[in-house]
Amino acid sequence: MITRVRSAVSSIIGGIMASDPTREQNHPDRPDPPLRFSYSRPDFLALSPDEVECSADHISRPILILKEMKLPWSTGYAEVINAGKSALNEDQACCEVVELRKRPADPSSPNYTPTSRRRSSLPNGDILETIESTEVKELDFHYWGLFDGHGGSGAAIFASKFLHLHIEEQLQEVLEILQKPSKQPPTCLGEENIVHHLHPSAGCSQRGLSRAASLRGAVGAPGSPNTSAPRFFMEKKIKQESLVVGAIENSFKEMDAYIARERLVYCISGGCTALVVMYLLGKLYVANAGDSRAVIIRAGEIIPMSSSFTPESERQRLQFLAHLQPSLLGNEFTHLEFPRRVTKKEVGKRMLYRDFTMSGWAYKTIQEEDLKFPLIYGEGKRARVLATIGITRGLGDHDLKVHDSEISIKPFLSCSPEVKIYDLSQYEHGADDVMILATDGLWDVLSNQEVAEAVSGFLGNCDPDDQHRYTMAAQDLVMKARGVLRDRGWRIAGDKLSSGDDVSVFIIPLMHGSKQPQPS
C-alpha cells in the first residue's frame, strides 16, 4: 500500500492523474470515445485556431485579453496558461445574458399562437429540440463562470457550455413566483400554493384542492370535527431569494449528473471546480464549489464572497462520510487524523489524534488498524484526499480512482456549492467598486489585500470613462501573478516564485450592476 501511494503521489501533476485506469485495465483494446468538444479558449475571446495554439506556449506564456468590448457591464477578463504543469490551459470561463421566458401552459388557450422556436434549455447531445410556443421574455439573468479543470480540460469545457442552461431550466420552475413584486410578504409555499406555483396549469382544480387537503391531513373536510389545522401544519414562509439559491444548487447537481451520463458516450476528461456569479432582480448570487475565489472591493473594503473547499477545510465532512461508510476506504485508509504517519513500533503507545467529532486533539492508544494510510494527508496546497486529489468540491471526476486500485474517490467529492448573496441595491457603488473572480492560480501567490491594492491602484490611475479599464486591470493582475521569466524560473515582485498554474480573472464593475433595472 505504501509503495502504491508513493507512486501515486509522485505521478500527480496538478493534484490528480489524468488517465482512466479502469478503461485501460478492463477494456485495453476498446478505442477511445470521441471528444464532445475540442479544446478551445472561452468563446467570448473569439480566438482563431492559430491564436488558440499560440496561447498554449509555456515558454512565453502570453496573457490573453478581450479583443473588443463584448461582455456585459464592461466586465474585464484576462488569462494565462501554466508554466508546464499540463499541456493545455485547463481553466475555462463563460459569460452570458440568459433570458427567462414564460411559456403558455395550455396550447388550447385562445391566446396560444405558435410564433417562435427555441432550443430546449437542457441539452441532449447535439439534438436541437424545437418547441412551438408564444414565449415572451419575462426576466433575464447575467452570468459569469470560472471552471478550473484538473486531469484534463474536458469537464471544464463541458461545464462552461452547459451550467448556465441548467440554471435557466431550474429558474423556469419558479419563474411565476420570482415575478411577484419584491415588496410583497415572503412567498408562502404551502397547501394550495404548492400546486399552484409549481404547476400553474393545474390552477385550482379539484385535484389540486385534494392534494392540499391531503397535506393538511384532511382537516376541514366535510364531516370532519376539526375546522382548523393543528399548529404543526402551519405553512413555511420562504423568501424568493431562497428559491434562486435552490435553483443554483440543483443546477450544480444536474450538471454533475449530466457529465456522468455524457462520459459514457464521449471523452470528458477529469473534473473541475466551479465558481459562478449570477445577477438576478438586483442581487448577485455567488456559488462556489472548489478553491477558486470571489471578493468584492468596495470603497477600499474587502468583502470575501466565497470559501475555499480543501481537504483541510472539509476534514470533518470527509471523515464523517468515511466513518458512516468505511467500505469507501477499501480497507487501506483510515478516517482518523494523526499529527504524523503512525509507524508499527508505535502500536500500543499513545498518540494525539482527532476524528469527525473533534476540532481539537486528544490521545488514543495506537492499534494495528491505525497504521493504514490517512484519508487526508499533507498540509496546505499539498493536502490530498486518498493521496490523490487536492480539492473536495467540483464537477466531474467520475472515473477517478486511487492509483492502481479500485477505490473510487468520487463519493468524497461534493458537487454542492456554497451560495452567498450580495444585494446591489443596498449600497452606492463607484466606478472603482468591483467584484474579482479568479482561479486559484492567482490566489496561490497574491493575498486578498494584495489583489485589492493592485486593482484599486490601477483603476485609480485610469480614466473613469474608459470602458476598457477593467480588462486592463485584469491583465495587470494576471501579469503580477505570472511574473517574468528569469534564470531561476518565473518570478514576481520581491524575487518570489510566481504562479506556475493557469490563471483566469474576471473583474466585474458593480456600478454597472447598480444601474440595471430593479424589480418593482
- Each domain of the chain, given as residue ranges in start order, spans 2-18+313-412, 43-180+239-309+417-514, 192-233
Q: Is the pLDDT of residue 241 over 70?
A: yes
Of residues 208 and 134, which shows the higher confidence score?
134
Nearest to 137 by CA among 111, 103, 174: 103
DSSP strands (E only) in 281-383: 283-289, 293-298, 301-304, 333-334, 350-353, 362-365, 373-374, 376-377
Amino acid at 472: M
Q: Cell digits for 446?
A: 497574491
Say what the pLDDT of residue 512 is: 83
Which carries the bigger pLDDT value, residue 72 or residue 204?
A: 72
Q: Model confidence at 142, in pLDDT bands (50, 70, 90)?
A: very high
Mean of all residue pLDDT scores within the chain: 82
For residue 138, is pLDDT > 60? yes
pLDDT band of residue 125 (cuts 50, 70, 90) is very low
Buried b (16+ CB within 10 A) or exposed e, 330-365: bebbbbbbbeeebeeebeeeeeebbbbeeeeeeeee
Helix (H, G, I), strand (E, B) or coil at 252: helix
Residue 365 or 512, more confident: 365
Interatomic CA distance for residues 90 and 84, integer angstroms: 12
Task: Identify the residue whose cell numbers are 382537516.
Answer: 219
pTM of the model: 0.81
User: Poorest-confidence range of 60-69, 71-80, 292-301, 418-427?
Assistant: 60-69
Residue 205 has pLDDT above 80, yes or no: no
DSSP conformation class of 493: G
- Find the mean pLDDT for residues 507-520: 77
Confidence of residue 114 (pLDDT cuts 50, 70, 90): very low
Question: pLDDT band for position 106 (50/70/90)?
Answer: low
Compute the distance between CA of residue 8 and CA of residue 301 in angstroms, rounded to an integer. Answer: 43
Instruction: Tell me the C-alpha distance between 106 and 357, whole Å.
Output: 54
**Is the model more confident about 413 or about 68?**
413
**Considering only 200-204, 460-464, 509-513, which range has the smallest mean pLDDT?**
200-204
Q: How many C-beta atoms surround the C-beta of residue 493 within 10 A? A: 12
Grid cell locating 470:
477593467
Given a cut of 90, is residue 153 above it in pLDDT? Answer: yes
Within a 10 A sphere around the Cβ of 155, how many other Cβ atoms?
30
Query: What is the mean pLDDT of the segment spanning 331-354?
Result: 94
Q: Which CATH superfamily is domain 43-180+239-309+417-514 in?
A: PPM-type phosphatase domain (3.60.40.10)
Residue 234 pLDDT more than 90?
Answer: no
